Chains A and B, each alone.
Chain A
Amino acid sequence: MEKKEKKNKNKVIEFVKSLPEGRRLFFNFGSIMVEVTKEEALRLLEEKEEEK
């Protein structure tokens, strides 16, 4: 299960990296969606991984 989650996360990271500049990204903080930059999104994803 954890392996599957990690695989999914890697897929998301790859997808985010592949997005062209100027695409708006949002991160879910609870029920709030906050607009983030690509770098922020990638950092938040990494942090989420480290938390586990």
Chain B
Amino acid sequence: MLKKILKKDDKKMADLNRQLRSLIAQIEALRVEISNIDILISEYRSTITTLKNLKDLGAGKEVLLPVGRIAQVAAKLEEVEKIVISIGSGISVELPFDEAVEQIEKEIVALVALREALEKAMAELYGRVEELSQKIREHGQSEASKGEEESGEEGKEEQK
């Protein structure tokens, strides 16, 4: 009977640990996602700065175009008032400068909102991890006290 109870307790403990591991994995996945979003936001901000700088330099300015990672070729800026922006699904569209910057800013706003939602979800998961850890601690303590009681009773029987 006692063995059965202990087995049930072990199963419960294993179950709680499994749940905890799953929550930690979810938190880790969210952390990676948030880090990717941060990289994207920073890239978009840098794009806006570069576009503004190019516009300030004006048409006719010589620039270096990267060809692969290691080479550059000289080119002249011909048009800075119109920017070609990728809008997804393989489509890019030429937009007037201000509209293009606005479009990128909209993307940044959407990413920031997504980041906030993910952070909120992560905070909730942390809360659940805390609850589960507490449960595991309590469960461990109750098992330890059960073990003590059991060894006490066995000692008494041996004395008899």
Contacts and interface: CB of A to CB of B under 8 A. Distances in A.
A11 B87 CA distance: 9
Interface string B93-124: 11100000000000000000000000000000
Nearest to B94: A24
Nearest to A9: B89
B90 A48 contact: yes
Interface string A3-20: 000001101100110010
Most chain A beta carbons < 10 A, residue from B90, B92, B95: B90
Interface in B6-26: none
A25 B94 contact: yes
A51 to B, nearest CB: 12
A27 B88 CA distance: 10
A25 B89 contact: no
B93 A23 contact: yes
A28 B88 contact: no
A3 B94 CA distance: 28
Contacts of A12: 87-89, 91
A33 interface: yes
B89 A26 contact: no
By Cβ-Cβ distance, the 4 closest A-B pairs, closest first, are: A24-B94, A28-B90, A26-B92, A12-B89
